[in-house]
Structure 1
Amino acid sequence: MKYRVLLTLLVYILGSWGLFAQRKTSPSYTSEQAVADTTLRVDSAAQDSIALADSTRRTGLEAPVEYKANDSIVMTAGNMAYLYGEGDVKYQQIQLQAENIEMNMDSSLVYAKFGLDSIGDEFGYPLFIDGNDQYESKTMRYNFKTKKGYITDVITQQGEGYVTAGRTKKTETDALNMVGGRYTTCDEHEHPHFYIQMTKAKVRPKKNIVTGPVYLVIEDVPLYPLGLPFCFFPFSSTYSSGILMPTFGDESARGFYLRDGGYYFALSDYMDLALTGEIYTKGSWGLSAKSNYRKRYKYSGSFMASYLVSKYGDKGLPDYSKSKDFKITWTHSQDSKANPYRSFSASVNFSTSSYDRNQMMGLYNANATSNTKSSSVNITQRFPNNPLSISANMSINQTSRDSSISVTLPDVSLTLSRIYPFKRKHAVGKERWYEKISMSYTGYLRNSINTKENLLFKSNLVKDWRNAMQHKIPVSATFTLFKYLNISPSFNYTENWYTHKVEQAYDIQKGAMAPVDTTYGFYRTYEYDASVSASTTLYGFFKPLPFFGGKKIEMIRHRFEPSISLSARPDFGNSKYGFWEDYVYTNAQGEDVHVQYSPFANQIFSPPSSGKSGSINFSLNNNLEMKVRSDKDSTGFKKISLIDKLSLGMSYNMAADSFKWSDLSVGLRLKLSKNYTLNLNGTFDTYTYGYNEQTGRAYKVDVPRWQAGKGIGRLRQTGTSFSYTFNNDTFKKWFGGGDDSKKKGEGDASTDATNADNPDLNGPEDGEKKGSRLLGKKKEDGEYDSDGYYMAKVPWSLSFNYSMSLGYSSEFDPKKMEYKYALTHALSFNGNIQPTKNWSFNFNATYDFDTHKVSYMTCNITRNMHCFQMTASFIPIGPYKSYTFSIAVSSSLLKDLKYNQSSSYREGQQWY
């Protein structure tokens, strides 16, 4: 409990007893205890409450001054108070903490300084707190009445950096006038690794710093040439506009440059805009605009537009080239809470093919080597209490290799979700069979073009763009027969609308069919098919004999899911439909050749296929599990998956004239561990082959392999892929070891318990400001064992991604009458390691099995030098062989204080 000590009471006590001094030692000695001790020898007049109330007016202060000390308080007849041991003085929102404090009760002056321990080390530096502002120093004089002060060796944090000065004056407006000040982002305050030496400076806390002449000092070496006549450091905590300083560097192909300089506009609380530019000494230049926007619970996104003019070589010489590129990126996402019935999203990444190659910043990311880019914008509208929804989409796909582009605009779809048109609204009794019939509808309207980038805006909307509309209506139902058999009939109807058709004829020069005439108008095609399927589920159980593991294995279960379906469709290539045309021409040998083609081929929606179909489809799904007794619990069991899924599928086309059997498809899924699943998919060829010695080509023979005595099928194609990551904990999991996280958690719990028994270790009480200390020795970070030894850790990881594909090659073996196999591999790997706390290294690479060497690799090295960051990136092999080196200040405020050096990949690469 704290009592207010007033100057009137002190004058009365000290005037009655003359010179008085008393010092008392206690764990926590406050101003209230000092008053109680001094009044032991006085009468009750010292307790006059009126005198206490009048003391603030006599000193000219607006509020009482509260103070305390942990060691002792000494007061003298000269109206001086001395606080020893973590002294703390409070006046309104002002607070002063120090090991030693002297107070003049008449003039409202306070002097604070540090203390010395038994070996002469300094501690308890004065800390001045004024609201949210804090200053720490070695000595400080302050006047509570005038709010002025004189400080030596002050240090204060402003923004991301620290300001220190040998001599400082604090004005009544809270400004700090400094002589010989320093500004740095290094937290080694007494001996920073680098700093900006300020001859004179004025600091307006939380606002800015204005200086006189300044120069840079690195490791105590002054760099006078790197000086400025004045400097301005803004520390605005509010959202505001400002200048973006450019980055200086050089590039061998385009010369010296200034890049990313411009102006930042704080447009509103929801949107900003940054206009930047770049210029090179050899004539290249560029402009860009970037904007971010966000509205809580509504939407968020970003937009960027860039224009770049690149010039290489000398004008008038053969190696001179000039290119104009642009890029537009836009991302937009809508909050799910914004509108439950309407959604809008965008992901646009559109640029010219050579933009990423000419834009230097794209060298060390995926854009520099990416061959394809895609963009899309989508809006979807749903209707409450209605199964209808409308979706509109725009998509762009680019291929940088040949500058081709594919645009679809618009792409509108109208969807009616599944409905039961015959279901009764107020059903009574059992469900009728016709109530199970369901249907849905999907309509598509598309307009697209495939062309080159330079021809896109020159294309004709009618002649060059392809447009069509499609309608799909599926009807289905599911019935249960004999309780266990599921019967599912279905009917599908598809109709296409076209705006043109293309007539073809035989071209003698090309030796093939070629378009000869395009007719524009409204054309309609349609197709339909019907199918019925039957499926069920069967279970089989097997109990192994005791001497075959039956004591531990409780049961093995096999789940078998067979299904069969029959589908049929007519021949829409028949002339009565008019979807296909018959054409007869005479070849070079004078023979008549019959060709059938569709005038609606090569459009957005394919025309109905020719040839009737009547197929029987077979599929088998298998699952095998084992139930075993648990080792931990004699009464418990656990399931082990032996075969998670084994599927087989095949079909037989009764309407085909030949090759009625399809390939056999097989899928296998195995759960090898809790976190890893192996998937294998393969296709088996069901027919035999013949060989024409004259042409040297193989051909398929309409003889199934089982009829030729070659089994059911031969593997045509299969493949799989897997990945794995090795790290510090991998071998502990394999061979056992302690759980570091568990041990760490247990240690934290014991620490918390200890602190609970010692409340003094838990920090200050509520409402008591302690402030953060900047001066003094730094605490060493890191983990230590129980013996006090540093626990050095080397985090590392190494990841592999391997894929394999096995299938028929182009080579045929006439002796075996079989195609030879070709094996295709792909291996990529990446890793990172941190050998020390400040060093880190990472890389990623791809291995080419055809050339038996690493085809591409990127490496990055980072060194954290406390307040500096050093990075080196290099590509040691391949066409992009190059490097870049940078050393810069870690703080984002001084991000332009850096040195860059790089090579150009263009020195060893030619673009065509």
Structure 2
Amino acid sequence: MRKFRRNYIVVPLLTVIIIITAMRGVFALPADVDKEGTNLLFFARQDTVELPGRDTIPVNDSLNRTDTTQKPVIDSFSLKLSKDTLSAPIEYSASDSVVGLVEEKTIILHGKAKTSYEDMELTAPIIELDQTKNLVRAKTTRDSTGELTDYAEMKQGDNQFKSENMEYNFKTMRGLTKGTITQQGEMFVHSDIVKKVDENTMYGLGTFFTTCNLDHPHFGFRAKRAKIINKKLAVTGAVRPEFDSVPVPIYLPFGFYPLYQGRHAGVLAPSVETNDQMGLGLSGLGYYFVLNDYWDVQMQGNIYSYGSWSVDVRPTYRKIYRYQGSASFGLQHTRRNFRGDPDFYKVNTYQLNWSHSSDQRSRPGTSFNASVNASSTKYNENVPNSNLVNFQNALGSSITYTKNWQDKPYNLSISANHNQVNVSRITTISFPNVAFNVNTLYPFERKEAVGSKKWYEQLGVGYQFNLRNNLSFYDTLKVRENRGVSWGKYLLDTTRWGATNSIPITLSLPPILGGAVNVSPSVSYSFDVIDRRTNFTYEKTQSGKDTNIAHSPAWNPGIRQRASFGLGFNTALFGKFRLNNGSQLRHVARPNIGLSYTPDLSRKEWKTVQVNERGDRVGYNQLDPNPYLNPYTNQFVSKRFAGMNFSFDNNLELKKRVKKKNPATDDNESADLSSLHSPADSLGGKDSANLAGYVPLDSLSRIDSIELARKSDETEFKKIRLIEGFGFNTAYNFYADSLKLSPLNVYFRTNLFDKININAGATFVPYKLNQFGMAIKQYAWEGGKFGLGSFTNANVSLSTSFQSKPKDPEKEKKRQEAINNTLNDPMLQADQQRLLEYMRTNPAEFVDFNTPWSFNISFQLSYYRGAYDLLKSKWANTITSSTMFGGSFNLTEKWNFSVNGGYDFSTMKLQTVSTSISRDLHCWQMSINVSPVGMYRYFSFTISPKAGVLQDLKINRNRSFYNGRGY
């Protein structure tokens, strides 16, 4: 069959070539015509006026004359191109055959045909080129079942089409296609017939719009007629939805589909949700404004049937190589239930978020960054259907300007900080904070060093200046007014400011004891300017039973000086223990001893205050806000210190001998051992044969060394960390009147099998206790009984996680990158509520179907010794233990189940549990989230398309329950 087909094509083709060669006067066929890279210039219309022929009489002039006065004349005659001539050649190729129809001036390409003209490229199983009409026709083929084997694909600029049949005019840029599929952004447009009238405008008949990328999409919108403007919009008449080719009997009078590839203004559609305390509501109704190339604004609001509402304005801005940022300002009016109900609640709150970052490429050495997250203390508590935000208790902000001078050793930083705790309703603002630092300078360093540096050349001096201003207040003005204190006076009373000047001096000395011990001396001097002094007085109540220590701050600035001198010694000790199997235990100990002296330079500010009826007094510094008492020893800790700090850190490793991945071959081993027989072979003759296995005694050491070398070639050491760190630290103060030894802190940490993290720590007071639980001047180990002291607090935590290998590692890598890009988007980070809302409304983007299962669990146990109860004669101890768990697994390739929760062993109750079921519906996503346990219970069901262009086309059902109210 193959041979017959080749003869059937080649013979007529040779005949056509012979005819064309004989008709050179009609057609001028180039010599480079072949199937690959052929052009259509030979189809251009020929000039019917013949040029004069060559003179047949030769002219032989024996005189070679050259007239230098005459210039060569250039013939100005040229052929005019026809108006129908194309502006560029048409290139084409085919993998099977090329058929040329001379009379029709048509070429037919078979088998992976490809043709290109300017920026247009067309591929199809069959292509016809008609030079007389400047048309190209693309056709497809079908198999025996009637299914298409391939599509005709056309690319022109940013446009791309897939069609069953296509006809296109090179000259007019108009065309007609059948069974066409084209992509416009995230939208796929299927049309029975498409008429292309110009470069950017098309008309479709029997058009189907969808975001599913399959040839037979799962859903879409069907319209009879449509007009499509490339990369802008599509407009249709009456339209209805279809799911799996099943029409839904719901018609819309017209359809409008935005096809923009950038920002564009438009309405933000709301979603319907239900809240147990707020009623039925519309969430997310708003509008998106594009102000210019650098600014846009998004406005959204929520409204509920019980009277609650909220408004949120979110502008964003970005200028390349300069800066970028976003902000969010929200007002929230919360009204739960109805007036007269016992649980009626109404409150007005606000929130403000701002994120800004500058690009240092615009102003080298200068940066300005801001991250502001502030709100009313009740704002997060009243965000509906979002328990993650409801539990967010602490908020913080920072605004920083930094300046680094080029080739200068100093820098400047000005910042403002904000912190608030929603439970206590206390807000602290620190502004302005000024920091001016001078890098360490070496005044004795030689400009042109010769040889090694002297010890005094490594003497460094620096300077640090810090100015800080703090302001603390409650977010409710009425709290202050009810106590008879005006808001302004209260702010002045709580404002504290101060400045610190510090001069650190460092010196690097050479190691001692043969380089085994490092020595690091240090000297530091600073003086602080404090805005006020504080006096404490002992007062009795009117009943005489209770006492109180009152403080009265006064605006009287003072200077507090501080100085410290230190000398540190540290080294590392190594020990190895060989095991029977050739493995080794490696122990590393790092002792660190620090000697320090801190004089008390503020004795003139020293005062004492009576603390009880017995007349006991405690000392304090007027420039400190409160007396500083040790919670375990009840002893005042003076600023004066002369003592020693001691710490001892250890780690333990196992060096295990394992086989190499590519061990040496047996042939090489035998070759190495064959040299041991050389003494026997030297005897010669028959004896040498009898003594072939003899090894002399002086070669035994060689046997051991070669055997060890053979093992080292086959194996290698693998390092396994058994204990990453364990040790203790304490301090001793020579100036203390008593209880000179500080509490002993011990710790332990390790990671077993690279899976189980273990951290533990404890604190001991190294003194005996009296009948009231107070420390006395007697060490715990005195009296013949050994002990570390009184146990004050301890904690143990364990955590581990397991997961299966991803089915497709490359896909998992891309998924993680996509998630990180989303989570690290500065526009989302500026507003944590928006980030959490995005994760809640797009759950399928954060579900890992590529990993079949994963599991994590953690456990915490803590002990704290409280005050001593004299009535019960025991310590008021507090023991807490809890566990957190989470995991997910794929029920099938498309179904995923996950659960997260926590259990408190102290109360023997579940703290919170949240479960979710997600289904990957190819072009859709579905999730069910339920939290049946905890203060904030909720239920949500969401099904929506994955494409962002249809993000508002979703079914969303939410319900939340506050204060543990049931379903």
Q: How does 1:471-490 map to 2 (within 5 A)?
A: 471-479=501-509, 483=514, 488-490=520-522
CA 1:811/1:610 → structure 2, altered by over 3 Å: closer, same or farther? closer
Residue equivalent to 2:191: 165
Q: Which moved more, 1:675-684 or 1:440-449?
A: 675-684
Match of 2:142 among 116, 121, 127: 116
1:206 aligned to 2:231?
yes
Which consecutive residues of structure 2, in runs of 5 or more, have no partner in the other structure? 30-41, 47-80, 481-485, 630-635, 661-709, 813-848
One-letter amino acid matched to 1:803? Q
Determine helix, strand or coil for the equivalent of 1:343. Answer: strand
CA 1:572/1:710 → structure 2, altered by over 3 Å: closer, same or farther? farther
1:404 aligned to 2:426?
yes
1:306 aligned to 2:382?
no
The CA distance in 1 between the partners of 2:452 and 2:105, in whole Å, is: 101
Assess if the C-alpha contact under 8 Å between 2:531 and 2:558 holds in 1: yes
The CA distance in 1 between the partners of 2:475 and 2:410, in whole Å, is: 37
Deviation (angstroms), 1:556: 6.2
Assess if the C-alpha contact under 8 Å between 1:240 and 1:265 holds in 2: no
1:498 aligned to 2:530?
yes
The CA distance in 2 between the partners of 1:473 and 1:908, in whole Å, is: 57
The CA distance in 2 between the partners of 1:68 and 1:451, in whole Å, is: 79
Deviation (angstroms), 1:187: 2.8
Deviation (angstroms), 1:689: 1.7
Deviation (angstroms), 1:584: 5.8
The CA distance in 2 between the partners of 1:566 and 1:142, in whole Å, is: 89
One-letter amino acid matched to 1:213? A
Aligned length: 807
CA 1:824/1:710 → structure 2, altered by over 3 Å: closer, same or farther? farther
Residue equivalent to 2:302: 278
The CA distance in 2 between the partners of 1:292 and 1:181, in whole Å, is: 37
CA 1:568/1:78 → structure 2, altered by over 3 Å: closer, same or farther? closer
Deviation (angstroms), 1:713: 0.7
Residue equivalent to 2:800: 724
Q: In percent, how many aligned pairs have the same letter? A: 28
Deviation (angstroms), 1:869: 1.6
Residue equivalent to 2:72: none
Assess if the C-alpha contact under 8 Å between 1:794 and 1:836 holds in 2: no
Assess if the C-alpha contact under 8 Å between 2:558 and 2:623 holds in 1: no
Q: How does 1:65-104 map to 2 (within 5 A)?
A: 69=94, 70-71=96-97, 73=99, 75=101, 84-88=110-114, 90-101=116-127
Assess if the C-alpha contact under 8 Å between 2:160 and 2:182 holds in 1: yes
CA 1:412/1:34 → structure 2, altered by over 3 Å: closer, same or farther? farther
Assess if the C-alpha contact under 8 Å between 2:903 and 2:910 holds in 1: yes
Residue equivalent to 1:782: none
Determine helix, strand or coil for the equivalent of 1:600. Answer: coil
The CA distance in 1 between the partners of 2:869 and 2:8, in whole Å, is: 97
CA 1:37/1:876 → structure 2, altered by over 3 Å: closer, same or farther? farther
CA 1:122/1:531 → structure 2, altered by over 3 Å: closer, same or farther? closer
Match of 1:464 among 483, 494, 500: 494
Which consecutive residues of structure 1, in runs of 5 or more, have no partner in the other structure? 1-22, 692-696, 731-738, 745-791
Determine helix, strand or coil for the equivalent of 1:635. Answer: helix
The CA distance in 2 between the partners of 1:822 and 1:207, in whole Å, is: 66
Match of 2:642 among 602, 614, 636: 614
Residue equivalent to 1:702: 777
1:891 aligned to 2:947?
yes
One-letter amino acid matched to 1:698? G
Q: Which moved more, 1:592-601 or 1:156-165?
A: 592-601
Determine helix, strand or coil for the equivalent of 2:556. Answer: strand
Higher relative contact order, structure no. (Cα contacts within 8 Å, ≥ 6 residues apart)? 2
Deviation (angstroms), 1:902: 1.4
Deviation (angstroms), 1:535: 4.9
Deviation by residue 1:233-287 (Cα, 9 ceiling, x = unmatched): 22223x4431132213132444444443433333444443323333344443332
1:39 aligned to 2:65?
no
The CA distance in 1 between the partners of 2:782 and 2:880, in whole Å, is: 32
The CA distance in 1 between the partners of 2:921 and 2:252, in whole Å, is: 26
Residue equivalent to 2:209: 183
1:443 aligned to 2:465?
yes
The CA distance in 1 between the partners of 2:733 and 2:132, in whole Å, is: 111
1:796 aligned to 2:859?
no
The CA distance in 1 between the partners of 2:801 and 2:44, in whole Å, is: 76
1:264 aligned to 2:341?
no
Deviation (angstroms), 1:379: 2.3
The CA distance in 2 between the partners of 1:403 and 1:306, in whole Å, is: 19
Q: How does 1:263-662 map to 2 (within 5 A)?
A: 263-314=287-338, 320-335=344-359, 337=361, 341-360=365-384, 363-364=386-387, 366-423=388-445, 425=447, 434-455=456-477, 458-460=487-489, 462-479=492-509, 483=514, 488-509=520-541, 511-515=546-550, 517-535=552-570, 549=580, 552=582, 561-570=590-599, 577-583=603-609, 587=613, 592-602=615-625, 610=638, 612-622=640-650, 631-632=659-660, 634-635=711-712, 638=717, 645-662=725-742
The CA distance in 2 between the partners of 1:352 and 1:644, in whole Å, is: 44
> What is the RMSD computed on CA atoms of the aligned residues?
4.2
One-letter amino acid matched to 1:60? D
Q: What TM-score do you get using the length of structure 1 for normalisation?
A: 0.78
Determine helix, strand or coil for the equivalent of 2:492. Answer: coil
The CA distance in 1 between the partners of 2:192 and 2:454, in whole Å, is: 95
Deviation (angstroms), 1:512: 3.8
One-letter amino acid matched to 1:241? H
Assess if the C-alpha contact under 8 Å between 2:798 and 2:858 holds in 1: yes
Residue equivalent to 1:769: none
**Which of the pair is proportionally richer in strand?**
1
Determine helix, strand or coil for the equivalent of 2:950. Answer: coil
Determine helix, strand or coil for the equivalent of 2:736. Answer: coil
Q: How does 1:739-818 map to 2 (within 5 A)?
A: 795-806=852-863, 808=865
CA 1:509/1:433 → structure 2, altered by over 3 Å: closer, same or farther? same
The CA distance in 2 between the partners of 1:861 and 1:149, in whole Å, is: 48
Deviation by residue 1:262-316 (Cα, 9 ceiling, x = unmatched): 3333344444332333334444333222233444454443322222223333457
One-letter amino acid matched to 1:725? S
The CA distance in 2 between the partners of 1:175 and 1:795, in whole Å, is: 47
Deviation by residue 1:836-855 (Cα, 9 ceiling, x = unmatched): 33222223212211122331
Match of 1:55 among 42, 45, 63: 45
Match of 1:193 among 197, 209, 218: 218
Residue equivalent to 2:936: 880
Assess if the C-alpha contact under 8 Å between 1:110 and 1:143 holds in 2: yes
Q: Which moved more, 1:419-428 or 1:874-883?
A: 419-428
The CA distance in 1 between the partners of 2:609 and 2:133, in whole Å, is: 115
The CA distance in 2 between the partners of 1:321 and 1:327, in whole Å, is: 19
Assess if the C-alpha contact under 8 Å between 1:248 and 1:256 holds in 2: no
Residue equivalent to 2:49: none
The CA distance in 2 between the partners of 1:87 and 1:535, in whole Å, is: 77
Determine helix, strand or coil for the equivalent of 2:532. Answer: strand
Residue equivalent to 2:273: 250
Assess if the C-alpha contact under 8 Å between 2:589 and 2:650 holds in 1: yes
Deviation (angstroms), 1:707: 0.9
The CA distance in 1 between the partners of 2:378 and 2:363, in whole Å, is: 40
Deviation by residue 1:698-756 (Cα, 9 ceiling, x = unmatched): 222221112133314145433343422211249xxxxxxxx9979x9xxxxxxxxxxxx
Assess if the C-alpha contact under 8 Å between 2:44 and 2:85 holds in 1: no
CA 1:355/1:651 → structure 2, altered by over 3 Å: closer, same or farther? closer
Deviation (angstroms), 1:884: 0.8
Determine helix, strand or coil for the equivalent of 1:462. Answer: helix
One-letter amino acid matched to 1:302? S
CA 1:255/1:24 → structure 2, altered by over 3 Å: closer, same or farther? farther
Determine helix, strand or coil for the equivalent of 1:122. Answer: coil
Assess if the C-alpha contact under 8 Å between 1:848 and 1:854 holds in 2: yes
Residue equivalent to 1:756: none
Residue equivalent to 1:228: 252
Determine helix, strand or coil for the equivalent of 1:326. Answer: strand
CA 1:439/1:814 → structure 2, altered by over 3 Å: closer, same or farther? farther
Deviation (angstroms), 1:672: 4.4
The CA distance in 1 between the partners of 2:248 and 2:127, in whole Å, is: 40
